[in-house]
């Protein structure tokens, strides 16, 4: 992942971390359940965006390199990894 991409992902993850701590406080303080759920949904959206950024970088670097390279085993490995990711996200 390029430096700028890494910085963006780390910044987003720190934001998610802060939001999770905020939700924890909300639960401890007995905040209205729907308000807590709405914050959790926002966290899930933020994590999906982080996942998308990391996957995009992976597709444009590791996968592209493997597809262009001479190593057939490497190509099969990255394709298998992608299938595993797609299967895992289908279960969510």
> Can you give the pTM of this predicted structure?
0.84
53-71 residues labelled b (16+ CB within 10 A) or e (exposed)? beeebbeeeebeebeeeee
What percent of the chain is modeled with pLDDT above 70? 100
In this predicted structure, what is the pLDDT of residue 5? Answer: 87
Q: Give the per-residue pLDDT at 54.
A: 95
The domain total for the chain is 1
Range of the domain at 71: 3-90
67 pLDDT above the threshold of 80: yes
Question: CATH number for the domain including 16?
Answer: 1.20.58.1000
């Amino acid at each position: 992942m390029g430096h700028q991409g890494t910085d963006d992902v780390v910044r987003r993850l720190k934001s998610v971390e802060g939001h999770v701590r905020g939700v924890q406080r909300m639960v401890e303080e007995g905040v209205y359940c729907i308000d807590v759920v709405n914050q959790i949904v926002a966290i899930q959206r933020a994590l999906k965006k982080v996942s998308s950024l990391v996957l995009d970088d992976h597709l444009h670097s590791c996968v592209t390199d493997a597809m262009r390279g001479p190593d057939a085993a490497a190509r099969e490995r990255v394709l298998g990894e992608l299938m595993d990711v797609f299967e895992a996200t289908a279960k969510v």
